[in-house]
Structure 1
Amino acid sequence: MTLTPNRDTLLRDLSRRRLLKAVGFGAVGVAGANVLTACAGGDNAANATVGQFTGVYDFDLDAQTRNVAVEDGALLTNSVYVDLFLTSSAFYNWATHEWDYLLVESSTWEGDDLIVSLRPGLKWSDGTDLNADDLHQNYAIRALEAPSWSVGFPQITELEKLDDLSVRARFDAPFPGIELQVLKHRIFSKSTYGDFGERAIELFGGGVRQGDDEHNEFNAEFIAFDPDEIICSGPYKFDPGQLADARITLVRNEEGYQGTEVGFDEIVVHKGDNRQASLLIQQGEVDYSTLATSAADQQAFQSVEGLRSVEHPGYDGCGLMFNYRKKPELKDVRVRKALAHLLDSDQIGQVARGEAYGRVDHYAGLVDLQAEQIFSADELAGFETYDLDHDKATELLEDAGWTKEDGIWLLPDGEEAAFEVIGVVGWGDFELTATQVEEAWNDFGIKTTASNVPSDNPWGIWAAGDFEVAVRHWGNPEIPGYWGAFQMNYLVENARTEENPGQDFDLKVDSPSQGEVDLEKLVEVAKTAPSEEEQIEALKTMSIVFNELLPRIPIWTYKYLAPALEGVRVESFDDGHPAAQNQIYRDNHVILSLIQGDLKPVE
C-alpha cells in the first residue's frame, strides 16, 4: 500500500481523465526485464519438481532474524506463507465466527478458565515432541510480553499445565472473543526458546507483568536473541541448502502437522517487492501472490495464460480523517457531509486501486459486508448515503453559513475555506486518493492542496494531529470482531491530549436519532458485553451515529485480487472454500486450503 521520486508533481499536473488513462492502460516497460532476471532465480519451468508451489515476498535473508517469537519481521513471518512452516494453533472463519483447529485439537471454557489441548503426535522439524510444555512456555512468554492495551494474553491471570497436551489459562473477566489471539497464537519451539520459556513461567507465576523491572531485563535478552534456524511445526521446513538471496525453498516436513497430507513437495518463495512481484507474475513464475498490484499491472496480467484472480474481501477501506482542532469548521456535520458529496468514490477507487476496490453503500463505519450481517435490509435502507451530488453539497454549505464569491467558498467569518490533504509517500493508493480529493474540492471552489508525509512513521504524524485532513483507513482488517472497526474509527489517533490530540473528535456526541451517546463506552460494551445481543445493540448504535454524523469520510473499501496461476503447477483454486470470506493477511483461505491438502498440484 510505490512511486517514482517526482510522482507528486506529476500527479498534480494530470487531469482526472489523464489519471484514469495513466493508471488504467499502462503497460510494463522493458526496463523491468533486468529486475526480473535478477529476481527469478533461474528458469523455474525447467527446474521445477513435481508438486512445487511458488509464491513471492520481499524478504531479506541477511537482515531478517530467525527469532520468530519476537514477531517483528523474522524471515517470512510477515508473509501469508508463514503458516506453512510455523502453523497457527487455529484458523478463524470470519464469516461464521467459528474455529477451524490446526495444531490445537480443542478449546473449552470452564467458567473463567480456557482449556486448550494440542493434537496428539505432533513433532517439531528437529524431531522433538510438540506438547504442552511448548504451549505452557509460549503462553507464559506471551502473557509476560503482551502490551496491556491488547486483548487476550494481558487478561490471563494464571497458567497451569494440566497434562502432556493441555494447558489451563484463567482470564480476568472474560468476554466473547477474548480468546482470539490465544487460539491463533503461532507456537514456537521449546528446543529454541526453552530457557526463556521456563523463566517466563516463573516470572509470570510470581506476578511479574509487562513494564516491571524483571520483565524489562527479560525482554532485552528476548529481543536480542538470535537463533541460527527456525524449527518448524507445519507441513514444510526450510531447506538450508536452498536459501538464497533470490529465492527460499521449503521442503516437505513429513513429521510436521499435515506433512504427509499436503499436495506439494516444495514451496518456493521468490524475493520481490510489489513491482518485482508483478513482473514475476507476468512471467508465470508465481502461483499465488498477495502483494499489492497497480491498475496497470492488473491490465498486463490479462495476457498471462491461466492467470486469474482470487478475490478476498476487505474489512477496511480508505477515506478521510479530519483534525477538528486545526480545522474547527469541520465540527459542523453539514460541512463534513458536503465534502463527502463532492467525491466520486467509484472514480477515486478505480484510479487508486484499479479493480481492487469496492464502493461504499451504507456508510455505517463497518464495511458493507459486516453491516449487512448485523442490520436487516430494511434497516440499512434508512441509512443516509453520500454519493457525488454538487447540488446537495451547495445546499449543505449554504445552510452552514458558507458563501461563494467569484467561484471561491468562504467560511461564515468571511475567511477563504482551505484544506491540506495528506497521503503517504510510496503508498500509491493513498497518494492517488489525496490528489483526487484535491482536484474534486478545488474544482468546486474549496482551495485544497495535496501533499505526502514520509512513510517511515505516518502513524506518529496522525496521532500527533500534525495534519488538517489525512487519507486514512477506516474499518479494521486485524480484528474480526465488529467492535474493531469502531475502535479504529473513534479511538485510534484520537487521544485528545495536548501532546497527542490526533483527530481531536469529541466522543460524547448528540445523535439526531440516538440522543446523547458516549462512543468510547459503547466501543467497550461492543467488545466486552457478556451477551451477543448486548454487543450487537452497541454496534448498531455506533453504526447509526457514524452514518448520521460522518466523523470521517469512507471513500472506498479494499478488495484484494490476488493473482493466481492455474494449470502450470496448481490444478485450480477453490472460490467456494468455507473460509473464502477470511481476511487475506490474517486468515488466508488459500493457505488453509494448501495445508488441508485441498489445493492440488497439476498431475
Structure 2
Amino acid sequence: MKKNKLKKLIAFTMALTLSASVFMGCKNNDSESTSDESIMDSVISVETTMTNAKVDGEKADSKGTELSTMISFTPAPAGHGNPSVNGGPDWSMEPIIYDYLCDYSSQPEKTFKPSLLESYDFKDKVLTLKLKKDLKWSDGSAITADDLISNLFIDMTVNKIAYYAESVKKIDDLTVEVKYNRDATLLLDYILKTSLKYPVSNYGEFAKAYQEQFEKNRELDENKNFKFNAEGDIKVAETTTALNNYLPDLMSIKVSGAYVPKTMTSAEIIFEQNPYYRVPLNIEKIRGIRPTSTESTALAISNGDYDAEGMGLSPDMAQKVAENNKETIRQMVVPEFSSLGFCMNTQKYPTSDVNVRKAIAYIIDKAQIAPVSEPGMVKGDEYAVALPPSVRDKYLSKDFLNSLENYDINLEKAEEYLEEAGWKKQGNQWVDKDGNSPEIIVAGVGEYPAYVVIGEAAANMMKDFGLNAVFTPKEAAAYNDYATSGQGHMVIDGFGSATNTQHPYEAYDGIWWYGKRGMNLKFPEKGGLVFKNDETGEDFKYSEKQLELFNASTPEEITKVTEEFAQFFNDNAWYIPVTEKYYVFRLHNPKLSMPEAKTGEQLSDFYWSGTTSAILGKALRSGELYYVK
C-alpha cells in the first residue's frame, strides 16, 4: 500500500471515528511505510512566528485572566468530589486542585522538587517527611501531619506502605516518619509524588479504619514483605466500600492546591484561585472544557476555544490547525512514556497458541500504523519486551536486544509460525489443523481515534494475510468489562507503560491490571505469580523477579533483572506494542507564557513531561505560567 493512500484512509477513519473497512492490507514486506518523522514533521515543522513556550514581555496582572484547557470531568448528578471513586476528580483535574508532596520529573534526570514538603530524608530505611509551615486547605483550616497520615493510609496500596512499611508515626504537627523494611530507593517514587487530597476532617474515619488494619492485621509473606491476613482483607474491603459510598459535592470539597472548583455545567467547569494557597498565583481563573466527542474537540480547537491543550487530532486536522494559526500557535512534543498495543488473550483459541501470537506480531506493520494513528505517536517496541523504547533503551543494550526476536513485519516468519502451529494455506485463507478458520476478534475504544486506527489497520492486515480477523469498537464506559470478559482475542490497551516512574518495575507491575484484562491470565488464589514460559516450558517466577527489580539499586542491577523480564515477554508475545506516545502540546494564546521550551522538538525537561494537566500544574505552582501585557 502506498503511504499517501494509507495516510488519507487513516485520517478519514479518525475524522469519522467509526467508519469501517477503509484499510487495504499491505501485501508484502517491501510495502512502503509511512515514517514517524514524516507525520510528525507535517505537523510540528509548520513554520510558526513564535518558537518558544516562554514569551518575552512584562507579566500581566492576574485580575481578569482566564486559562482555558481540557478537563475530563463528570457532570452532575453523577459527578462528585471523592477522587478515589469514578466520577470524582481525575488525572486531568487533580494537578489543578491538589498540591503534591513533591513535583516530579524523570527529565532530564530524576528530580523530586519539594512542594508541600519543606524537606524529606531517607536514611537507614526511615523516610522523614516534613511539611512546610502555615499550609492551609481552601477553607482556611491548617494542613498538618494528621492530614498527611490520612492520605498515606487511604492510598496505602498505591504508595506501597501497605507492603513495605513497618510503621507510620507522627513526630510533631508537621512531621511524619515512615519506617520501611528495606532501603529500595524506588519507594520514593511512589510516596513523594503523593497529592494531598484526603483532609482528615472529611476522610479521617476511613483513614483510621485503614490504619487499624495496617497495624493489627498484616503478616509477612514468603518474601518478607507485608500482606493483609484474611481478617485484614475483609476489613480493608469493607472500609473501601464505605469510602466509595462517600460522594461529597465537588463544589464543596476542601482542596490543597492552587485552584478551587466553583461552577460547573455539562460543557465546562470553572476553577477560581484558592485564597489560602501558599504562593501567589498568576492566573485568576481556569476554564476546563469537557471533551464530548472527537468532532466537537476538533471544532473547539479549530475555533480557538483552548489556550493550551494536548488533545489527540487526526494528522490532517493537526496539520491544518498549525497551518491556519501560524502567527499564534506554538507546538511542543512531550514524552508520555506510555505504550499502546495489543494484549493477547492467552486462554482463548487461537491466540492461546504462542505460535499464532508470534505470527500475528509479524503480520502487523507497526511502523506503518504508529505515526498515522495520532500526531506524536512513534513506533513501539519491536522486540515486544513490554517497555516503551524510551525506557527500554535506558536499561537494555543493543547487543542484548539483538539477541531477541525482532517482530518487525516479516510475512515469511508469520507463515513459519502458523505452520508450526499446524495451520496451512487453503486458497487465500489460513486454516488450522481441524480445517477451520477461527475468528480473531480485535477490540478497541470506539470513541478514541487512535484505537480505531490501530484496530482497523491491524485487522485488515491480518485479513489480507488470510486470517479471519475482525475489529469491534466498544464504548469507553463498557470497555473495562469487555476487556476482562475474555471475549476478545486482541484488546488494545496500555500495558508496558511507565508514565509515573519511567522505571521497568512500573511497566511489569502492570500485569496485575492488564493481565486480568486482555491477556486473560490465570492468577493464583494465594502466593506469588509464577507463569510458564510457552517457549521454553520453564516456570518464570514473576513475583520474585518483581521484588528483585524493586530492590535493585544500581543501573547494572536494574538491567540484569529487566533482561530476564524482557526475555520472558519476547518469548511469549503476550503483548504486541504498536506505538510509544509522544503528544503535541499546543499553546494557542500568544500572550500565554510557560516554562521555556523550543517548539518542534522532543523535549527532555523538568516541566515538560507527563500529562497536559501535570505540566500545567507544575507551571502554575512554580509561577512559570502567566500572561504578558
Q: Provide the TM-score with structure 2 as the length reference.
A: 0.76
Deviation at 1:319, TM superposition (A): 2.0
**What are the superposed Cα offsets for residues 382-431 of structure 1, whole Å, 9 maximum, x if unpaired?**
44322223333334434554322222223245443542222233333223
2:367 to 342, 346, 365: 346
* Structure 2 match to 1:108: 121
Q: Is 1:597 paired with 2:623?
A: yes
Deviation at 1:117, TM superposition (A): 0.8
Question: SS in structure 1 opposite 2:391?
Answer: helix
* Structure 1 match to 2:220: none
* Structure 1 match to 2:285: 266
CA–CA separation in structure 1 for the residues paired with 2:379 and 2:434: 39
* Structure 2 match to 1:119: 132
Q: Is 1:583 paired with 2:583?
A: no
Distance 1:266 1:417, change over 3 A: closer
Deviation at 1:569, TM superposition (A): 3.5
Q: Is 1:294 paired with 2:314?
A: yes
Instruction: Compare relative contact order (CA 8 Å, sep 6+) and give the higher one, 1 or 2.
Output: 2
Percent identity for Structure 1 against Structure 2: 18
* Contact 2:386 2:507 (C-alpha < 8 Å) held by counterparts: yes
Matches within 5 A, 1:279-428: 279-302=299-322, 303-305=324-326, 306-328=328-350, 330-333=352-355, 335-398=356-419, 400-416=421-437, 418-428=439-449
CA–CA separation in structure 2 for the residues paired with 1:373 and 1:13: 38
CA–CA separation in structure 1 for the residues paired with 2:211 and 2:492: 46
Q: Is 1:94 paired with 2:103?
A: no
Q: Is 1:72 paired with 2:86?
A: yes
Q: Is 1:171 paired with 2:180?
A: yes
1:547 to 566, 570, 584: 570
* Structure 2 match to 1:38: none
**What are the superposed Cα offsets for residues 172-229 of structure 1, whole Å, 9 maximum, x if unpaired?**
4563322433322221364742753784587458636764458726852673252561
Question: SS in structure 2 opposite 1:12?
Answer: coil
* Contact 2:154 2:207 (C-alpha < 8 Å) held by counterparts: no
* Contact 1:321 1:469 (C-alpha < 8 Å) held by counterparts: yes
CA–CA separation in structure 2 for the residues paired with 1:392 and 1:212: 50
CA–CA separation in structure 1 for the residues paired with 2:594 and 2:128: 39
Question: SS in structure 2 opposite 1:11?
Answer: coil
* Structure 2 match to 1:59: 73
Q: Is 1:507 paired with 2:531?
A: yes
**Aligned alpha-carbon RMSD (Å):** 3.9
Matches within 5 A, 1:243-262: 243-253=264-274, 255-257=276-278, 259-260=279-280, 262=281
Structure 2 gaps, min length 5: 1-11, 27-33, 40-61, 218-227
Distance 1:63 1:184, change over 3 A: farther
Q: 1:314 is matched by which residue type in structure 2?
A: E
Q: Is 1:458 paired with 2:458?
A: no
* Contact 1:356 1:561 (C-alpha < 8 Å) held by counterparts: no
Question: SS in structure 2 opposite 1:160?
Answer: strand
User: Structure 1 stretches (4+) deviating beyond 6 angstroms?
Assistant: 6-9
* Contact 1:320 1:471 (C-alpha < 8 Å) held by counterparts: yes
Deviation at 1:371, TM superposition (A): 0.9
Q: 2:454 is matched by which residue type in structure 1?
A: T
CA–CA separation in structure 1 for the residues paired with 2:235 and 2:383: 49
* Contact 1:81 1:591 (C-alpha < 8 Å) held by counterparts: no
Paired residue total = 556
Matches within 5 A, 1:480-519: 480=501, 481-488=503-510, 492-493=515-516, 496-497=521-522, 507-509=531-533, 517-519=540-542
Deviation at 1:256, TM superposition (A): 1.0
Question: SS in structure 2 opposite 1:55?
Answer: strand
CA–CA separation in structure 2 for the residues paired with 1:231 and 1:9: 41
Distance 1:558 1:201, change over 3 A: closer
* Contact 2:344 2:351 (C-alpha < 8 Å) held by counterparts: no
* Structure 2 match to 1:36: none
Question: SS in structure 2 opposite 1:128?
Answer: coil
Distance 1:435 1:70, change over 3 A: closer
* Structure 1 match to 2:30: none
Distance 1:601 1:172, change over 3 A: same
Question: SS in structure 2 opposite 1:436?
Answer: helix
Deviation at 1:539, TM superposition (A): 0.9
CA–CA separation in structure 2 for the residues paired with 1:202 and 1:354: 45
Q: 1:102 is matched by which residue type in structure 2?
A: S
Deviation at 1:573, TM superposition (A): 5.6
Q: 2:270 is matched by which residue type in structure 1?
A: T
Q: 2:90 is matched by which residue type in structure 1?
A: N
* Contact 2:82 2:246 (C-alpha < 8 Å) held by counterparts: no
Q: 1:486 is matched by which residue type in structure 2?
A: Y
Distance 1:153 1:601, change over 3 A: farther
CA–CA separation in structure 1 for the residues paired with 2:87 and 2:611: 18
Q: 1:345 is matched by which residue type in structure 2?
A: K
CA–CA separation in structure 2 for the residues paired with 1:252 and 1:61: 21
Q: Provide the TM-score with structure 1 as the length reference.
A: 0.79
CA–CA separation in structure 2 for the residues paired with 1:570 and 1:285: 17
Compare 570-579 and 555-564 and name the one that shifted more.
570-579
Deviation at 1:523, TM superposition (A): 2.8
* Contact 1:295 1:353 (C-alpha < 8 Å) held by counterparts: yes
Question: SS in structure 1 opposite 2:256?
Answer: coil
CA–CA separation in structure 2 for the residues paired with 1:187 and 1:457: 30
Question: SS in structure 1 opposite 2:216?
Answer: coil
Structure 1 gaps, min length 5: 25-47
* Contact 1:247 1:268 (C-alpha < 8 Å) held by counterparts: yes
Question: SS in structure 2 opposite 1:224?
Answer: coil
